[in-house]
Amino acid sequence: MFHSIIYKSTAKESFVLSEIENMLLKAKKHNKSQNITGCIVYSDRQFIQIIEGPEQPIKELYASIKNDERHFDVKTLIETKTKKTLWDDWSMAFYNFAGSSDQNKHSRILLESYFDRANENQSNSEVLRVLKSNVLELLSDK
């Protein structure tokens, strides 16, 4: 069994893109060591993130995320047990929609292919549905 959490939050103004990228480098290393997979979508200081993996490490990571002072208004969108993670091979994917129109278009194409590559038995799951709907809402003006 695995555990999946999707949340959204708002970055503080002082949490700039270079710091977000440094955070991601640390997260990738940590997540790989804990068998955690995930994805962060970032646009207009808004984050939507999914983290999946063994229950205890996921709960510990999420507690740490909720206490991180670089963002606020953390809202859990879904927390559930799953038989399989959405993706097996991502320690932490990052999609940044804070660039130019062309960069955002490219990121959106990559993100949609990411959704399309969900594990076969998870392609119709509630977790993927919640992730996609919230991300598409976030990106509705991109």
Q: Mean per-residue pLDDT for 66-71?
A: 96
Cα–Cα distance, 28 to 26 (Å, whole number): 6
Residues 82-123: pLDDT tens digits? 988 888 777 788 888 988 888 888 888 888 888 888 877 676
Of 26, 6, 14, 10, nearest in space to 131 by CA = 6
- pLDDT exceeds 70 at position 23: yes
Whole-number pLDDT of residue 110 = 85
pTM as predicted? 0.92
Whole-number pLDDT of residue 142 = 63
Average pLDDT score, the chain: 91
Residues 41-64: pLDDT tens digits? 999 999 999 999 999 999 999 999
Whole-number pLDDT of residue 49 = 97
